Structure 1
């Protein structure tokens, strides 16, 4: 099923996408819920981030060709970093180009949504703690990353983690194909079977370090083909079976 959040006037609602309709639900994605008789047009709905994670745990250089294109070595163990919850925006949300950066890159990725509180999960049980999957774009101020030699500032700006448009619970990550488009031009086209550390390995590794909570996001790394964006660009991350996440780059004037 495809779970989503959307706006109804000023109210935030939850729903299940059923063809051209969103069927509103009451309750929790991660617990009990009831499907109501209230429906919305799925094509015209204003989508919100499908979850509000306590943290986004991301892995760098998880595709060999991506590591090579940036001149980096492939890490021997997963190289992880955390994006703040304030980096999250949703389908159609604006991505602010920071005033302190001159070079921002897109990084389209498959994201795992955790479904239950868990710690020290073995890879054999990893898929039992997954709620579903969504799209994420791990925006990076590449010049600041090179300047700092670290990830926190370069990847932690507000709006630098669009997710959505939905969470698909019936999805085989092994068959995921991640495409990224800039102004309609295909820039990335990679498959999850090329990951260095696969989804169960990442969950095992990350849950050994920290407790994962319902709604937390694991970004599984980006395939080759990353590149820069400029103000006014529209970027799409598309994964067959999940959908298309679209965002526009705007000047951060605040």
Structure 2
């Protein structure tokens, strides 16, 4: 049995980064990534390239030297869906936002922080992704979406942090997020030391996001679990956290 899977992604994005209340970086990334997964019986080889096409024979050669995966059955077939084009949420203005557009928005953020006696650091990025997937069994999928992401740390005697993401730059309420970071920075002072013990703790959404984002990275993966790389490997049907 020989099968292959081809993944192609194009990302075009612009990044405006600032620190000490000054924009210090404007960069554009236009990157094409190609990844080929080749199946030879139960052996799998993978090749990835940035900026140029991958030779499928390289992936095949890697598969020849790989260990067998006894659990592998087959790549997916297209089923009844056939060829599918997914048009995700998309904003032309966001996908093509210029450095000047981002700089004007960041300027307002910095001015708001400075008016409260705080420095500002963070970034604003905009762009779009295009993804295509196909395999030797007839699966063909492709899609496109735009994105905008904002990150801010307001810095004084204390610090305040916010972040947000959307497919549409106009839907990111930078004013409200900036005010939230400022408020947190003003409250985040004169911390006191407490003794170790059991406490009822209220976590902001960003704190919960940080915890579960890391857990999803190191643990919530079927492949990681199967290969023994997950922190939950071997613990099926066991309690692993406080009730």
TM-score > 0.5 by shorter chain: no
TM-score, normalization: structure 1?
A: 0.19
Structure with more contact order per residue of length (Cα contacts < 8 Å, sep ≥ 6): 1
TM-score, normalization: structure 2?
A: 0.20
Higher helix proportion: 2
Higher strand proportion: 1
Structure possessing the higher radius of gyration over alpha carbons: 2
